[in-house]
Chain A
């Protein structure tokens, strides 16, 4: 699986958009970009994933560059409950089975 590079930490004011970048310059054509987050003392939580088109769901938006070498996760209106470690993962999805390779992620701190 391709490796990803994320900043170790970011701050965001509550109510503002949080934009979390991820570089995955060695991504292969059949690899998806996944985002998970882990709130303190909980298991990771799926946020969103995409292949090459931008994606949006009730939690976030995912913007993938045209060359697919980087992406940005956008939380449109961050709240204190969004404080967590955010992981960007690239993985081949083969039916039901896709092993996830986590890095160290970005620790997002949302402040008042």
Chain B
């Protein structure tokens, strides 16, 4: 069956611009997670949703980052006034239970 998909696969933007990254989870998965991975590092937790609500957003680095999941399926990670330090691979994962998360291929964000 279809796995987690993320679009776009690559995004290049200029410093100060606004970007949106999309995640389509596996159908029926109630939990959805966003992580960020910098070069040479493991993924870093940003936020997770249980259904439509953000159950834990403790990993969001500042208020320029925001995520939504309005219908409990697709999620969008929004970054305002991008900075060069936001350059990373943004990973999305979904889960139906017991800690087993299925990851998408990621969106590589480059801020020039």
Interface residues of A (CB under 8 A from B): 32, 34, 41-46, 49, 85, 87, 91, 93, 95-105
Q: Is the CB of B104 within 8 A of A99?
A: no
Total B residues in contact with A, Cβ cutoff 8 Å = 30
Q: Is the CB of A43 within 8 A of B91?
A: yes
Instruction: Please tell me if the beta carbons of A46 and B101 are within 8 angstroms of each other in the complex.
Output: yes
Task: Write out the residue numbers on chain A whose beta carbons fall within 8 Å of the beta carbon of B98.
Answer: 49, 93, 95-96, 98
Report Cα–Cα, A105/B43, bound state, in Å.
10
In contact, B97 and A96 (Cβ under 8 angstroms): yes
Total number of residue pairs linking A and B with CB closer than 8 Å: 68
Q: How far is the CB of A108 from chain B (nearest CB, A)?
A: 15
Given contacts A44-B93, A49-B100, 12 further A-B contacts (CB under 8 A): A87-B42, A95-B97, A96-B97, A97-B31, A97-B48, A97-B56, A98-B99, A98-B101, A99-B56, A100-B45, A104-B41, A104-B42
Chain A residues with CB under 8 A of B31:
96-97
> Nearest CB to that of A34 among chain B residues?
B99
Q: How far is the CA of A93 from the CA of B98 in the complex (A)?
A: 6
User: What residues of A have a CB within 8 angstroms of the CB of B4 in the complex?
Assistant: 43
Chain A nearest CB, measured from B108 CB (Å): 9
Q: How far is the CB of A111 from chain B (nearest CB, A)?
A: 22
Residue of B nearest to A98 (CB): B99
A104 partner residues in chain B, CB cutoff 8 A? 40-42
The answer to whether A32 and B99 touch (CB under 8 A), given A97-B48, A104-B42, is: yes
Residue of A34, A45, A85, A99 with most chain B CB atoms under a 10 A cut-off: A99
